[in-house]
């Protein structure tokens, strides 16, 4: 009887404790809800990294923060991402800095043909450059992550093996990479990635200059049966948050997000590099895409055409009040540090 009583009282106490803890735990209404906008479709890498970040933040804040993600430009598009976040139309947004080269001068220097050969290295280089220069372009937001693509290559409907083939070809690229296409003689057409599938389909462009994971993610391999491996020009991205919203977050939540910055940068770089490999095998296997390697002699000629771009960029950056040469020197040092 005594034993039965004590089991009963133990159960009662447990019940009371549970009820009390339930009452003092903030109600669901107290959950911090954040919206996160993205411009390309859900299967692409900017959205994959967004979902990773969402899961990590929700897990690490133990449900205190809930992130609603909006891929495919459903909340903000490629070109109004930064201003939309500043205006509070979304709490968080992911943007490709190359789409606004005049706005993000310092960070877009990573797009120059300086020899960054992977997304992993590119992302770390971009983070170091961002931390050192703290560009004014980001003064009105909190930066939650930066990362880059893997180097760009030409995906085209017709084979590009030499300058004759690329001459006058309508190829799509944006920002720094656009200058590269022009230097090689292509007819460069600018548009964000989100507009590219339709442009390819309608024949507005004959190909794309970008990192190769889109061969799989956006099914470009079904249209572009040739890839010319040029391995140049990475595109820099940033994830930004509305500053007021950031300042309104509790300190412990801010710390969790701060601690994630470098981790997110590394995770995304690695994901991108691995995913590019996967997309290459997939394209060969499912769509018999031909991957064209330029001969050493051709490669030297192609690179030579890009050399004046760096000096030109330095002069332009200097004219805008930036230390162009110092930024380029820093990137070159960082390429050695992170192994290109």
Provide the binding-site residues for ligand DTR, judged by CB under 6 A: 40, 44-46, 96, 149, 152, 174, 193, 210-211, 214, 235
Contact 169, 158 (CB under 8 A): yes
Query: Closer to ligand DTR at the Cβ: 149 or 156?
Result: 149
Neighbouring-strand partners of residue 96: 237
User: Mind giving me the DSSP string for 110-169?
Assistant: GGSSS----HHHHHHHHHHHHHHH--GGGTTEEEEEEEE-PPEEEEESS---SHHHHTT-
Query: Closer to ligand DTR at the Cβ: 149 or 242?
Result: 149
Find the shortest distance in angstroms from Cβ 174 to ligand DTR.
Answer: 5
**Alpha carbons 82 and 101: distance in angstroms, whole number:** 13
Query: Closer to ligand DTR at the Cβ: 172 or 245?
Result: 172
Of 200, 138, 185, 212, the closest CA to residue 305 belongs to 185
Find the shortest distance in angstroms from Cβ 40 to ligand DTR.
Answer: 4
Ranges of beta strands (E only) in the chain are: 32-37, 65-70, 92-96, 141-148, 152-156, 170-172, 187-189, 207-210, 226-232, 236-242, 290-293
Find the shortest distance in angstroms from Cβ 281 to ligand DTR.
Answer: 18
Query: Closer to ligand DTR at the Cβ: 45 or 138?
Result: 45
Query: Closer to ligand DTR at the Cβ: 105 or 272?
Result: 272
**Alpha carbons 257 and 4: distance in angstroms, whole number:** 50
The 3-state DSSP class for residue 60 equals helix
Find the shortest distance in angstroms from Cβ 296 to ligand DTR.
Answer: 26
Find the shortest distance in angstroms from Cβ 189 to ligand DTR.
Answer: 12
Helical packing angle, 251-287 and 119-133, nearest 10°? 150
**Alpha carbons 33 and 272: distance in angstroms, whole number:** 28
Query: Closer to ligand DTR at the Cβ: 116 or 257?
Result: 116
Query: Closer to ligand DTR at the Cβ: 273 or 324?
Result: 273
Find the shortest distance in angstroms from Cβ 257 to ligand DTR.
Answer: 23
Find the shortest distance in angstroms from Cβ 150 to ligand DTR.
Answer: 8
Find the shortest distance in angstroms from Cβ 305 to ligand DTR.
Answer: 20
DSSP state of 92: E
Classify residue 74 as exposed, middle or buried by CB count within 10 Å of its CB (0-12, 13-18, 19+). exposed
Query: Closer to ligand DTR at the Cβ: 235 or 322?
Result: 235
Of 287, 271, 186, 167, the closest CA to residue 227 belongs to 287
Query: Closer to ligand DTR at the Cβ: 110 or 211?
Result: 211
Query: Which pair of tokens denotes residue 290?
Result: 């031909």
**C-alpha 88 chain-centroid distance:** 21
Find the shortest distance in angstroms from Cβ 214 to ligand DTR.
Answer: 5
């Amino acid at each position: 009887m005594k034993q039965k009583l004590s089991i009963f009282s133990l159960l009662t106490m447990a019940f009371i404790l549970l009820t009390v803890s339930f009452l003092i735990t903030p109600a669901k209404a107290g959950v911090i809800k954040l919206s996160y906008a993205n411009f390309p479709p859900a299967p692409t890498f900017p959205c994959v990294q967004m979902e990773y970040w969402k899961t990590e933040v929700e897990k690490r804040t133990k449900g205190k923060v809930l992130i609603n993600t909006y891929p495919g430009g459903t909340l903000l598009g490629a070109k109004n991402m930064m201003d939309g976040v500043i205006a509070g139309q979304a709490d968080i947004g992911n943007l490709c800095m190359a789409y606004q080269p005049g706005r993000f001068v310092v960070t877009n220097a990573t797009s120059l043909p300086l020899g960054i050969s992977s997304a992993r290295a590119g992302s770390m280089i971009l983070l170091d450059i961002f931390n050192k220069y703290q560009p004014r372009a980001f003064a009105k937001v909190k930066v939650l992550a930066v990362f880059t693509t893997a180097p760009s290559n030409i995906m085209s409907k017709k084979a590009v093996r030499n300058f004759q083939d690329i001459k006058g070809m309508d190829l799509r690229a944006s920002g720094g990479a656009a200058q590269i296409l022009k230097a090689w003689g292509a007819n460069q057409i600018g548009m964000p990635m989100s507009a590219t599938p339709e442009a390819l389909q309608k024949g507005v462009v004959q190909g794309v200059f970008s990192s190769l994971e889109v061969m799989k993610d956006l099914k470009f391999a079904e249209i572009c049966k040739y890839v010319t491996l040029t391995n140049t020009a990475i595109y820099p991205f940033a994830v930004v948050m509305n500053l007021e919203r950031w300042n309104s977050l509790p300190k412990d939540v801010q710390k969790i997000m701060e601690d994630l910055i470098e981790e997110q940068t590394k995770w995304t770089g690695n994901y991108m590099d691995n995913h590019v490999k996967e997309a290459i095998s997939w394209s060969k296997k499912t769509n018999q895409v031909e991957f064209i390697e330029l001969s050493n002699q051709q490669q030297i000629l192609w690179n030579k055409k890009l050399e004046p771009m760096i000096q030109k960029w330095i002069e332009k950056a200097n004219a805008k009040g930036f230390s162009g040469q110092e930024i380029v020197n820093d990137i070159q040092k960082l390429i050695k540090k992170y192994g290109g």
